[in-house]
Structure 1
Amino acid sequence: MPELWPFPAAQEITEVLEWRTDVLQSQAGEQRIALRSTPREIVTFQHRCDALGIARASELARTGFARDWQVPLWHMAVQPTADVAQGATEIAVDTTVADFRVGDAVAIAVDGAEASLAEITSIEADRVILVEPPGAQLPGAIVAAARITVAPVRAGVLSAPVEIARRRQNDGMVTATFLLRDAPDLTAPVLPSYLGRPVQTDPSLTRSPITASLRRAVEYVDNGFGPVVAEPLRDLFERGEAINLKAQGAAERWALRCWLWSLRGRQTSFWLPTWGRELQLRAAMTSGSTLMRVAPVAELAAYVGRAILLEMPSDFRFRTINAAVAEGADHRLTLSSSLGEPVAIGTKVHFLTLVRSDADRVEIRNGAAASEVTLPVVEVPE
């Protein structure tokens, strides 16, 4: 059985998901070919150790660098919901927010000390059942839940040099990076959908624009004697953007991870609202109306075929603009169907953009209070 890498994580844990996708672009579209069905998972831990801990980490790396390790996934660690007794074979934890597996091990750490292993024989939504009770792994007959940390364990191999930064003789930082094996089969979180694709409106994911670029593939022809001519190479306009996703709490972190997993790198497309309030209503709408009067924001032809999101009091609503005409100083848009309820003049209306991730490598920064990821996305044709 692989040896345990027992050291608890002390600072931010970096988790990397890596896919491989071939994107074949044409003048009017693109084809995405998946070359890796499941991502490679790479986790980087930083462990704060005393002199003995540094020595142990150094010797473990020296004698077993190239072998498999039992790696506690500290970025998925949870605390028990009830105190744990030495003779108990059950630990009350929420197993729906971490990668616990029957037949694998679980890491148990008390007061932030080095972890020990226990084998899982069964899993329920609110507890893990162990093959044997923790026994001597616990310092007392009953240990308070707040003192215990429980984390799933996966097999992994060291994929980078183990680095040691000694601050003082008895205080240092050990950095270890593992490539995990046996990728899980995660289920995508349930999101609203429109025209067969999910819409990213999950309230646990806070979206804040960082950068945005508006572009079209062109070739600039310059013979050196006359004007420079721009010749379009593709029929598509591309909007690129970097979005920041943040999740707090074990459940929201798990939902973020599952959603990123469902994207499969650059393979899967989804709707992303701009949240820009581009369409500002000039008049209220009745429940059965499909006509929307808005302040001019684009040429009439540019509205047609665009998807929009309306923030209604009851829920988000999605529609497509089928036609647009000028009406005095305003533009009148025809929606694909009525909303079924009145639309107040102050209702927020945003454009919906169909996008995909523009990177096969996604890095999640797992801190003590929240997980964050910066994801580049690019507009794709419908």
Structure 2
Amino acid sequence: EQRPDESQDLTASFARLLAELDNGAAIPRVTDVAGRAFPVQGHRWLGMGRAERSALRSLLYALRGRQVPVWLPTHAADLEPVATVTAVATTLDVANVGYTRFGQAKPGRCDIRLELWDGTAFHRRITGSTELSADVERLAIDSPLGVQVEPAEVLRISWLTLCRLDSDSLEIHHETDSEGVANCALVFRGVRDDEF
């Protein structure tokens, strides 16, 4: 898993699938085909040396332009843990962000990536949630983490979204020779994940 270059802020927005019908005589009719907004995320990679460049090229070849979707984290601290998670627990207590009230089981808000300071990452699906208090929500996850995790060990908990590249063409800028720096900027667009 390659992390994006965060020397600049990562971009994120939402876009809708709109169809416009305009006969030229009246107000155009605009229809939201999907009935929801899809995330659009910008990511930059900065690679040093042949091994990192090879890994990036392998990822790009595997994505085949816009053809293959991939689960992409927001790489933001979207949720904040407030209690220890035991090795066998299937719940996660987080600071209340209104998930139970507004986001429960919404597309794009069912999967999370829990990243620890040591680089370990866990990917889990949220199966339910309850509001314990005005400050704490309890999220039920599909399987235990297998290790005990303290809140101080968590770097961030990010939403995972099923995305594809927004374009079939891309560029890798090689700043120096094959052992030096190369960078690549990509835009990912969310796709439907209802059936997953």
TM-score by length of 1: 0.42
Structural mapping, 1:167-246, within 5 Å: 201-202=1-2, 206=5, 209-218=9-18, 232-246=32-46
Structural mapping, 1:54-203, within 5 Å: 201-202=1-2
Whether the aligned pair in 2 keeps the contact of 1:244 and 1:373 (CA below 8 Å) is yes
1:252 partner SS: helix
C-alpha distance 333-371 of structure 1, shift in aligned 2 (>3 A): same
Encode CA deviations 1:146-195: one digit per residue, 9 max, x unaligned: xxxxxxxxxxxxxxxxxxxxxxxxxxxxxxxxxxxxxxxxxxxxxxxxxx
Match 1:328 to one of 105, 128, 133: 133
The match for 1:258 is: 58
2:170 partner SS: strand
CA distance in 2, matches of 1:314, 1:374: 23
Shift of 1:218: 4.5
Whether the aligned pair in 2 keeps the contact of 1:308 and 1:319 (CA below 8 Å) is yes
Match 2:103 to one of 302, 312, 326: 302
Whether the aligned pair in 2 keeps the contact of 1:217 and 1:234 (CA below 8 Å) is yes
1:353 paired to 2:161: yes
Whether the aligned pair in 1 keeps the contact of 2:18 and 2:31 (CA below 8 Å) is yes
Counterpart code for 2:170: V
C-alpha distance 379-298 of structure 1, shift in aligned 2 (>3 A): farther
Whether the aligned pair in 2 keeps the contact of 1:209 and 1:242 (CA below 8 Å) is no
Larger radius of gyration: 1
TM-score by length of 2: 0.78
Counterpart code for 1:376: V
Question: Taking every aligned residue pair, what percent have the same amino acid on both sides?
Answer: 28
Whether the aligned pair in 1 keeps the contact of 2:5 and 2:43 (CA below 8 Å) is no
Count of aligned pairs? 178
Gaps of 5+ in 2: none
Counterpart code for 1:374: A
Structure 1 window deviating more from structure 2 (208-217 vs 289-298): it is 208-217
Counterpart code for 1:367: E
Encode CA deviations 1:292-350: one digit per residue, 9 max, x unaligned: 12122244252436111112457211100000111111221101111111121232211
Counterpart code for 1:326: E
Whether the aligned pair in 2 keeps the contact of 1:209 and 1:244 (CA below 8 Å) is no
Match 2:183 to one of 372, 375, 382: 372
CA distance in 1, matches of 2:41, 2:124: 23
C-alpha distance 372-326 of structure 1, shift in aligned 2 (>3 A): same
CA distance in 2, matches of 1:340, 1:314: 16
CA distance in 2, matches of 1:326, 1:251: 46
Shift of 1:252: 1.4
Counterpart code for 2:113: L
C-alpha distance 343-356 of structure 1, shift in aligned 2 (>3 A): same
Counterpart code for 1:206: D
CA distance in 2, matches of 1:317, 1:206: 21
Shift of 1:273: 1.5
Encode CA deviations 1:93-124: one digit per residue, 9 max, x unaligned: xxxxxxxxxxxxxxxxxxxxxxxxxxxxxxxx
CA distance in 1, matches of 2:99, 2:47: 38
1:319 paired to 2:124: yes
Whether the aligned pair in 2 keeps the contact of 1:323 and 1:334 (CA below 8 Å) is yes
CA distance in 2, matches of 1:216, 1:370: 36
CA distance in 2, matches of 1:261, 1:232: 32
